[in-house]
Amino acid sequence: GAGILHGERSPAVLSVHRSPTIQQVNISHCASDGISLVSPSLNLPLLDNRIEYNGGIGLSVLMLNGETRDADLSAFSPLRFARGLPYNTFGILDACDPGKQVIVEERILVYYRYENRPADCVKIFTSRYGVKTFGFRLLQLNLVNSTNQPWDPDSLTLYDGDIYNITSTVIAQIVSTTTGPAMENRLYRSKKPSLSLKIHSSGDDGSYGFIAEVITLPIAAIGFGRDIRHNISFSGFFHNRAGAVYYSSAGEINPILTMEWNQIVDNGAQLYGNFSTSEAAVALDVQNMDSLLFRNNLIRRNQGGLKIQSDSNGVPTALKAVIHNNVFADNNVTETVYLQGRRSSPYQEVTLYHNYVTRSNVRYKNVMLLDQVVANLTENHIFNLEMQRTAVEAGTNWWGYNTTTAIVGRIRDFRDLPELLQVRFEPYYLNNRTVLSGKCDPGWTQVGDTCYVYIGVPMNFSDAKEFCKKDNASLPYLMN
3-state SS string for the chain: CCCEECCEECCCEEEECCCCCEECCEEECCCCCCEEEECCCCCEEEECCEEECCCCCCEEEEEEEECCCCCCECCCCCECCCCCCCCCCCCCEECCCCCCEEEECCEEEEEEECCCCCEEEEEEEEECCCCCEEEEEEEEEECCCCCCCCCCCCEEEEEECCCCCCCCEEEEEEEHHHCCHHHHCEEEECCCCEEEEEEEECCCCCCCEEEEEEEEECCCCCCCCCCCEEEEECCEEECCCCCCEEEEEEECCECEEEEECCEEECCCCEEECCEECCCCCEEEEEECECEEEEECCEEECCECCEEEEEECCCCCCCCEEEEECCEEECCECCCCEEEEECCCHHHCEEEEECCEEECCECCCCCCEEEECCEEEEECCEECCCCCCCCCCECCCCCCCCCCHHHHHHCCCCCCCCCCCCCCECCCCCCCCHHHCECCECCCCEEECCEEECCCCCCCCHHHHHHHHHHCCCCCCCCCC
What's residue 386's pLDDT?
Answer: 46
Going by pLDDT thresholds of 50, 70 and 90, the confidence category of residue 375 is confident
Tell me the mean pLDDT in the region 90-104. 91
Per-residue model confidence as pLDDT tens digits over 227-272: 899 999 999 999 999 999 999 999 888 999 999 999 999 999 988 8
Higher pLDDT, 388 or 44: 44
Going by pLDDT thresholds of 50, 70 and 90, the confidence category of residue 407 is confident
Q: What is the mean pLDDT of the chain?
A: 86
- pLDDT for residue 425 is more than 90: no
Higher pLDDT, 88 or 258: 258
Which of 28-42, 286-300, 362-376, 426-440 is predicted with the least confidence, judged by mean pLDDT? 426-440
- pLDDT for residue 23 is more than 90: yes
What's residue 212's pLDDT?
Answer: 94
What's residue 1's pLDDT?
Answer: 62
Per-residue model confidence as pLDDT tens digits over 322-355: 999 999 999 998 999 999 988 655 678 899 988 9
Tell me the mean pLDDT in the region 364-393. 71
Per-residue model confidence as pLDDT tens digits over 136-153: 999 999 998 877 777 788
- pLDDT for residue 392 is more than 70: no
Higher pLDDT, 329 or 472: 329
- pLDDT for residue 283 is more than 90: yes
